[in-house]
Structure 1
Amino acid sequence: MAAALKPALTEIEAIRRADGESRTLAAAMPHLVLEARRIASTVIHGLHGRRRAGAGENFWQYRRFVSGEAAQRVDWRRSARDDLLYVREQEWEAAHTVWLWPDRSRSMAFASKDARDSKLERAIVLSFALAELLVAGGERVGIPGLMRPSATRGIIERMAQTLLHDSSTRDSLPPGFVPASLAEVVVFSDFWTPLDGISATLASLSASGARGVLLQVVDPVEETFPYSGRIEFTEPEDGRAILAGRAQTWRDDYITRLEMHRSAIRTEAARRNWLFSTHRTDRSAAELLLFLHQALTASRESNARSRWPA
């Protein structure tokens, strides 16, 4: 087994590469926007509007008065119609903020022949589609360090322009910031990052009590390791390369290490009341979008119950 470290890129080479990547992304963006809209429309037809009691202005329903409640909650006009006491409930309208982070680092550009999209394309499409669903439901969506929370109807176009004009370093994890206590965060990444970095990011994001989802987007071959024979593997982030004489002998150890890494992330996420899940790019994006929407809805209702007890 031999390894070689490629020389660091010069500033000119780095600029050329960044320019090439930005042009590639710009060329693909119309397709990604259309795909996101298609997936969002597929999922949204199966969803119903939010109807749950809470702090809001619009009337939702009357319900029977429960012994022990404050008398001022009684709607005396409605109660005068018969011998029962009724409470007027309002619909919960508190707009939440959901922060979305699509990992755009070099490792996300990978795509095998078994994948439908690259990891980068899938992360961006899912971010756009989820934003469309959330804004349609009255939520606000932002990108940490890049875009302030917004509920504009043109949220996909706004996100696309933000990403296209971003000249900052393509970090795998979102920048350190403290979201509001009722905010939610969704991170789309392959999470091929040392656990220490993931733990530090989670600690920062959940410091205020915010919850979220860590969604690991992987290519099929990154799970199955179908390689055999003499193969050179290159680390896309820093260019390091390692040569395997008989790659098939690495398979069992690779899969074991993969499961250990995932188990550690899952444990760290659960400890902070976050959800960790995985998604392969040979699977349906609509399937994952529905899962994410349901997960965020469940988290939101849990927050509502803790703030406004029944």
Structure 2
Amino acid sequence: MLQTPALLAHAANLDLVIRHVLAGLGHGIHAGRERGAGVEFSEYRAYAPGDEWRRVDWKLLARADRYYVREAERDSHVAAWLWLDASASMAEPSYQIKGLDKLWTARTALACVAAIAQRQGDAFGLVVCGDGRAEVTPAARGPRQLQRVLAALARTSASGGLPDATALKTALRIAAAPAIVFAATDCLDWPSPLSEALQRLRHLRHDVRVLALRTQAEVDGSFPSGVAYREREGAATLHRLLATDRETYRDSAYAHFAGVAAHCRQHDIALTEARIEQPLEAVLRSWLRPPSARGARR
């Protein structure tokens, strides 16, 4: 039975959370197959000049009096890059579930993707964007790499703003090899150097998938009436959202995220919008879905 985000948010062991979430997922990052002279049979096709004779099916030749070769599939490894928005706005908590915030959900979702990549034998790396810096864990394979990535995620806290374009240059070096990029962010700072970096990666023909996380209160404006809050990024301004402000807030939020979705469609970036109060398994299932028809998925 799927545990609620409330229970998962209070689990101290990230490995156990990952195992629990992935137990019922049964989902991979990519198909992991390409045609060729592999070990797993796929189909027959007519012989063509240049085909290896060892791939000819001689028994089928005896029955059909024609040459056929066995088309097979072989594993194809694609590097997975995990991008985490660790700016101050990611510390926004849920007003429905105590102990749950956007950063926890983003870190845990990326940790699950890392575990899947390790299970598939793919290389994977991590880029943490926060406090004006981009910290890169180079891509590698294996259980030790998974522990390195999990440790980096566990020690990350939400602080400061996103890095500028200069700070992101090092992270963009991943463009040298084919990759699937999983970026977890709240998209509040969009467009931004981060969105421009993801756009560049997509234009270089990497598969870019953005997870836009919000709290339920951010979606529908259900913040407690009269509660004062301080802007987490930029000027430390004190705000107070009154009941009369909710409609204006909702209109503004809708317009902003409609713009994010339009930008992603324009640049062929797969966008998954989710609330942190949703079951993580359902969020991952949508985020991991191959974007055959790209666009916003809610």
Question: Normalising by structure 2, what TM-score?
Answer: 0.76
Distance 2:41 2:256 in 1: 46
Q: Which runs of structure 2 are paired with 1:62-77 in the superposition (5 Å)?
A: 62-65=43-46, 70-73=48-51, 75-77=55-57
The aligned counterpart of 2:220 is 224
CA shift for structure 1 position 39: 0.8
Q: For residue 121 of structure 2, what is the aligned residue in structure 1? A: 138
Query: Mind listing any 5+ residue stretches in structure 1 that lack a counterpart?
Result: 1-27, 300-310
Question: In structure 2, what is the equivalent of residue 278 of structure 1?
Answer: 273
Alpha-carbon distance change, 287 to 227 in structure 1, aligned in 2, over 3 angstroms = closer
1:289 and 2:284 are equivalent in the alignment: yes
CA distance in 2, matches of 1:242, 1:48: 42
Q: Do 2:121 and 2:142's aligned partners in 1 also have CA atoms closer than 8 Å? A: no
Q: How does 1:206-217 map to 2 (within 5 A)?
A: 206-217=202-213
For residue 155 of structure 1, report the CA deviation from its aligned partner: 4.2
Q: Deviations over 1:66-107 (max 9, x none)?
A: xxx733337434343322432222313221011111222222
Residue of structure 1 aligned with 2:82, choices 100, 125, 128 = 100
Shift of 1:132: 0.9
Counterparts of 1:127 and 1:49 in 2: how far apart (Å)? 15
Distance in 2 (CA, whole Å) between partners of 1:72 and 1:286 is 47
* 1:58 aligned residue: 39
Contact 1:115 1:281 in 2 (8 A): no
Whose strand proportion is higher, 1 or 2?
2
- Residue among 11, 14, 24 paired with 1:42: 24
Q: Indicate the RMSD between aligned Cα atoms, in angstroms.
A: 3.2
Q: Compute the displacement of 1:43 (Å).
A: 1.2
The answer to whether the 8 Å contact 1:135/1:153 transfers is yes
The 3-state SS of whatever aligns with 2:228 is: strand
Q: Is it true that 1:258 corresponds to 2:253 in the alignment?
A: yes
**Closer, same or farther in 2 for the Cα pair 1:290/1:220, shift >3 Å?**
same
1:23-34 equivalences under 5 Å are 30-34=12-16
Report matched runs for 1:75-90 at 5 Å: 75-78=55-58, 79-83=60-64, 84-90=66-72
Contact kept? 1:32, 1:124, Cα under 8 Å: no
What amino acid is the match of 1:150?
A: A
Aligned to 2:4: none
Letter in 2 for 1:235: E
Does structure 1 retain, via aligned residues, the 8 Å contact 2:56–2:67? yes
Structure 1 56/170 Cα, relative in aligned 2: closer, same or farther at 3 Å? Answer: farther
Whole-Å separation in 1 of the counterparts to 2:246 and 2:146 = 40
Equivalent residue number for residue 129 of structure 1: 112
Q: Where does 1:172-183 land on structure 2 (aligned, <5 Å)?
A: 172=162, 175-176=168-169, 177-178=172-173, 179-180=175-176, 182-183=178-179
TM-score normalized with structure 1 length: 0.73
Asked whether the equivalents of residues 49 and 137 of structure 1 are also in contact (C-alpha less than 8 Å), the reply is no
2:140 to 118, 131, 150: 150
Any stretches of 5+ residues in structure 2 without a counterpart?
Answer: 1-9, 128-134, 294-298
SS in structure 1 opposite 2:289? helix
Indicate how the Cα distance of structure 1 residues 235 and 150 shifts in structure 2: closer, same or farther if over 3 A, else same.
Answer: same
1:52 deviation in Å?
A: 4.5
Structure 2 counterpart of 1:272, one-letter code: H
Encode CA deviations 1:134-183: one digit per residue, 9 max, x unaligned: 22123221113421112213444221223456799765479341424631
- Higher alpha-carbon deviation: 253-262 or 72-81: 72-81
CA distance in 1, matches of 2:160, 2:79: 23
Question: Which amino acid in 2 is paired with 1:43?
Answer: L
- Measure, in 2, the Cα distance between the counterparts of 1:277 and 1:294: 10
* Aligned-partner SS, 2:86: coil
Give the letter for the 1:209 counterpart.
R
> Match of 2:81, SS?
strand
Task: Report what 1:240 is aligned to.
Answer: 236
1:282 CA drift (Å): 1.0
Q: Distance in 1 between matches of 2:86 and 2:143?
A: 24
- Cα deviation, residue 63, structure 1: 1.3
